[in-house]
Amino acid sequence: MTISEDLDPKDLVPKDLVLADPAAVDDVLLPGFERRRVTTEDGAILALVGGSGPPLLMLHGDPQTHLCWHRMAPRLARQFTVVLTDLRGRGESHKPARSDDHRAYSKRAMAAEQAAVMDRLGFDRFALVGHDRGARVARRLALDHPDRVTRLAVMDIVPALDFYERADAAIAQDYFYFFFLTQPYPAPERLIAGDPAHFMGRILTGLTAKEVSYDPLALDAYLQAATREDAIAAMCECFRAGISLDLEHDRQDRAAGRRIACPTLVFWGEEGVVGRHFDISAIWRGWAETVAFAPLSCGHFIPEEAPEAATGQLLTFLQDR
């Protein structure tokens, strides 16, 4: 992991910065977007809706919230009705309790919930973009609900099956939390609780060769949201589902020859650990019928490291007839 040994991630947040009301932060970083609480079968999901035009659902990664899109969403909202949600277990959305089978945090369950959110908002079919954990949910949504997704863009991931099949010592070193967070309850929860801001900060600062220029309001919101006890528990459960149920679902898809049917665009950061460790184009050609690739000169946190380049490529892809 690329991180200065002298850097305490908590020091990234200005000492005099006090977390503002979440709605006020949204007003600053996502002006013109309307906050909505969308009730699903299992709980309430926070959604921000802005713009006009064809619907576009955007799903954030870990340990972040809908705010990760603040440098891209306003531009996209000029041509699309943009929906930004907090995934279950994250941000202001509901956080299902831990279970022995981790089913509530399988990407299948999370994807079905996001499809239900779009139903509640009146969108039958929509384009879909996801980064990190959100990209895993987006990929599953496109596989399980192919009639709902018109186009899919994923940022800086490989599917769970490919990740764990190809894992070696170097990958385990760079992506240590893919193995740490999957450990049985309560080991990771208790260890993270000793200094949650440092743990979450390591993820936010350690997946790129360069320092990420986070907006201070956004960074503080990420740390405030991710370091809550229930959010830590949800994150652990999500990774436990990743190495169990998500793997099994991927194996079933591969055995059945099931692939993503809609046009797919795959982004990755050439300076990030995914780009260094995986043959991304080869992997994704095995999962998508029609796929294009967009490597960018950045690390893992594409929406905040390379927002202009990513937005330009995304607009071209979404408008391609």
Enzyme catalytic residues? 132, 300
Measured CA to CA, the distance from residue 130 to residue 158 in angstroms comes to 12
Write the burial class of residue 218 (CB in 10 Å: 0-12 exposed, 13-18 middle, 19+ buried). buried
DSSP string, 96-129: PPP-TT-GGGSHHHHHHHHHHHHHHTT-SSEEEE
Instruction: Give SS3 for 305.
Output: helix
Backbone angles phi, psi at 149, to 5 degrees: -105, 120
Measured from the Cβ of residue 34, the count of other Cβ atoms closer than 10 Å reads: 10
Residue type, 303: P
Instruction: Assign 59 to helix, strand or coil.
Output: strand
Helices (H) and strands (E) in the chain, counts: 16, 8
Burial of 293 (0-12, 13-18, 19+ CB in 10 A): middle
What distance in Å separates the CA atoms of residue 26 and residue 48, rounded to the nearest whole number?
9
Which phi-psi region, left, alpha or beta, contains residue 46 (left: φ > 0; alpha: ψ -120 to 50)?
A: beta
Could you tell me which residues come within 8 angstroms of residue 41 by beta carbon, excluding any fewer than 6 positions away?
113, 116
Instruction: Give CA 192 to chain center in angstroms.
Output: 20
From CA 102, how far away is CA 242, in angstroms rounded? 9
Instruction: Please answer whether residues 158 and 134 qualify as being in contact, where contact means their C-beta atoms are separated by less than 8 angstroms.
Output: no
**Most distant pair of Cα atoms in the chain: their distance:** 55
